[in-house]
Amino acid sequence: MNVPPGSALFLLLSVFLFKVLAAPVVKISQGFLKGTILQSRKGRNVSAFIGIPYGQPPSGKLRFRSPLPAKSWNGIRFANKEANVCSQNYYGTYIGAEDCLYLNVFTPILEFGYPKDNGTLKNNLLPVMVYVHGGGFSQESSNLTAYSPKYLIDRDIIFVSMNYRLGVLGFLSSGDTVAPGNFGLKDQKLALEWVKKNIRAFGGDSNRVTVFGNSAGAACVNLLALSDATDGLFQQYIIQSGSMMSNWGFRENTQFKPFITDIAKKVGCPRINSKILIKCLKSKNVRKIMDAVLDTTEEYSEMPWLPTNEMESNDAILTDSPLNLLAKNKMKDLPFLTGNTIDEGLIFTFEYYGNFPSTPMVEYLEEYINFTSNFYMKPDLTKYRNLVQNFYFTRPITSMNENELLKNFTKFGGDTTFLYPQMILLDKMVKTVKSPIYFYSFGYRGNTTLMTMDFNVTENIGVGHAEELLYLFPKGFEGTFPKQDESIVNLMVDLWTSFAINGKPTSDEMDDPNLWIPYNKNGHFLQIGNIKNNTDGSVTLDRDYLSDRMNFWRENFPMP
């Protein structure tokens, strides 16, 4: 076939042949892998290894057990397409499979046929960034549509993302050693062990690993940094809009019983003892279990399956509550970077801006006050309600107009669930660790929003939960950014990757590239976006983070 140079067909064939011939091959502990080629945002060719098994399928007898390392294979395994997402009820629809313990590796070291490690990489190994996705411990995956590394891999880092078990399959606990829980956390630990063992084959430095995550992924990272079981698996960490101290980040193992009982009834399992019950659940079709979960809800909460405390055992990852472990100074003394968006509470109120709420707002707020009182001031609900009402709402909530109520509910919801839990952690750590702590507040609203776009909210209502992710991951966006949005993308990528590379977040997008100094130097934090005008992308170094609101919680609801 004669294909003229310069034609569209010629260009397509050229790209195809390049990807086939240049597709890298690496040898890891399990065997040979053949990857593919991915282009970064700025056109950099990157070796991509997608869908690498790190754990055996946790189904059948391996369900509700700690994960086992993936087995080896003969010949060359292709790692060029996405693997199964983990079983989940995704907005009411079952998707995924139990065979889901896969990870992805992206490395900018690219040659025709990956070079053997003959010593030339010794002094050029790259730092590694390992991402743990969020999703309320029950949804999402490392799918490239959501978490493509196209922005991050313009810098000299290696990016790793993983799937881990979710929901009932990842976090069910029988309260004993039969099914101790935290299986999703143990999957993450196994993935980090895989990185430790294999990342050099991709040009990565196993002694320069930064693990990071957002929301539930951040809480997971926080717990990994608390556990002795993960010592030596990473050297730095980043937690974004999530904390193990949040009221949604942990559940005592004694509190799972009603959920397990309900599921057992629905799937027809006897509840004689935990051994018989868990054996029966292992025999059931996963879809039947997930359908039962969909019908099982907790009053005022849609997150019954959470990290928990385990009984002491060889593979336990968390043996006490985060609060107790924090009080015992168990957090690793490692450099870490953390922060929140300025309007985290929109996660509770944005549907009211969209004008199709499922529950009347006053009723929902009453429920939320009751729910948070269990965490901050159980059992004195009356005192808690009065303190909250006097500080956030100034008068009875039934007498407030809707806009005023929404604004104050957003602040209250964000403070109770994200901002003050973050302060509990920071207040403790500035007293106990020597490593630098970098704290940020993200308050920039660009031309695309993450959370409100699905609810047809066009007005500027704030910068909600996870919106900083738009400037670290494409999230399906492939267009051209406006100039200021482009600057924020460059800023965020600079800060996150420079922290991974050098242990200090810097960026030439700021007038002073070294503007950001540690929080444990007199409470300084980086304000990204103007807090008084969120369409202004200015960056400042500030102090006294929301001091009036945070001091209200410190004074009335101190944590040990």
**3-class SS at 307?**
coil
Statement to judge: residues 78 and 137 lie in one domain: yes
Mean pLDDT (10-residue bins), the chain, 560 residues: 56 48 86 95 94 98 98 97 95 93 90 41 82 96 94 96 98 96 98 98 96 98 97 98 92 92 94 94 96 67 85 95 94 97 94 77 90 85 92 86 91 97 95 96 81 60 93 78 89 98 97 97 95 94 96 91
Last residue of a domain, one of 326, 357, 385: 326
pLDDT of residue 110: 52
Distances (CA, A) of 389 to 246, 371, 417: 21, 15, 17
Catalytic residues: 215
Per-residue model confidence (pLDDT) at position 115: 38
CATH number where 232 lies: 3.40.50.1820
Residues in contact with 271: Cβ distance below 8 Å, sequence separation at least 6, in sequence order: 261, 264, 277
Q: Are 422 and 321 in contact (CB under 8 A)?
A: no
Kindly state whether residue 11 falls inside one of the protein's structural domains.
Answer: no
Q: Are 190 and 167 in contact (CB under 8 A)?
A: no
> What is the distance between the alpha carbons of residues 407 and 369, in angstroms, rounded to a whole number?
16
The rounded distance, in Å, linking the Cα atoms of 296 and 292 is 6
Within a domain: 119: yes
Look at residue 6 and tell me if it is in a domain: no
- Coil, strand or helix at 421: helix
Please tell me whether the overall predicted TM-score, pTM, comes out greater than 0.95 for this model: no
Instruction: Give the angle 517-518-521 at the CA atoms, nearest 5°.
Output: 100
CB atoms within 10 A of CB 558: 9
Query: Residue 490 falls within a domain, yes or no?
Result: yes
Do residues 428 and 318 both lie within one domain? Answer: no
Number of domains within the chain: 2
Same domain for 317 and 407?
no
Token pair, residue 22, equals 């240049």
Are 402 and 298 found together in one domain?
A: no
Would you state the pLDDT for residue 296?
65
Amino acid at 180: P
Check: CB of residue 307 under 8 Å from CB of residue 250.
Answer: yes
Q: Is residue 276 a contact partner of residue 270, using CB atoms and an 8 Å limit?
A: yes
Rounded distance between C-alpha atoms, residue 281 and residue 267, angstroms:
8
What's residue 8's pLDDT?
57
Query: What is the pLDDT at residue 398?
Result: 81
Is residue 4 assigned to a domain? no
Q: According to the model, what pLDDT value does residue 459 have? A: 81
3 state DSSP class of 490: helix
300 domain-assigned:
yes
How many Cα atoms occupy the beta-carbon half-sphere of 145 within 13 Å? 5
CA distance 313 to 476: 42
359/318 same-domain check: no
Under a CB-based contact definition with an 8 Å cutoff, are residues 388 and 369 in contact?
Answer: yes
User: What is the Cα–Cα distance from 313 to 65, expressed in whole angstroms?
Assistant: 13
55: Cβ–Cβ under 8 A, 6 or more apart, which residues? 67, 68, 69, 70, 101, 187, 190, 191
List the structure tokens of 337.
Answer: 């970077």
User: Are residues 54 and 143 part of one domain?
Assistant: yes
Q: Are residues 367 and 307 in the same domain?
A: no
H or E segment to which residue 95 belongs: strand 93-95
Separation of alpha carbons 425 and 519, rounded Å = 12
d(CA 237, CA 437): 10
**Which residue range forms the structural domain that includes residue 396?**
335-556
Q: From residue 196, give the alpha-carbon distance in Å to each of 104, 131, 184, 205, 235.
A: 14, 15, 19, 9, 11
pLDDT of residue 515: 98
Note whether 177 and 307 are same-domain residues: yes
293 and 342 in a single domain? The answer is no
Last residue of a domain, one of 277, 309, 326: 326
Looking at 292, 326, 360, which one is the last position of a domain? 326
The verdict on residue 128 lying in a domain is yes
Residues 444, 499 within the same domain: yes
Residue 72 lies in a domain: yes
Same domain for 316 and 382, yes or no, is no
Are both 243 and 359 inside the same structural domain?
Answer: no
Joined tokens for residue 427:
């207040």
The contacts of residue 519 (CB under 8 Å, 6+ apart) are 426, 430, 437, 438, 439, 525
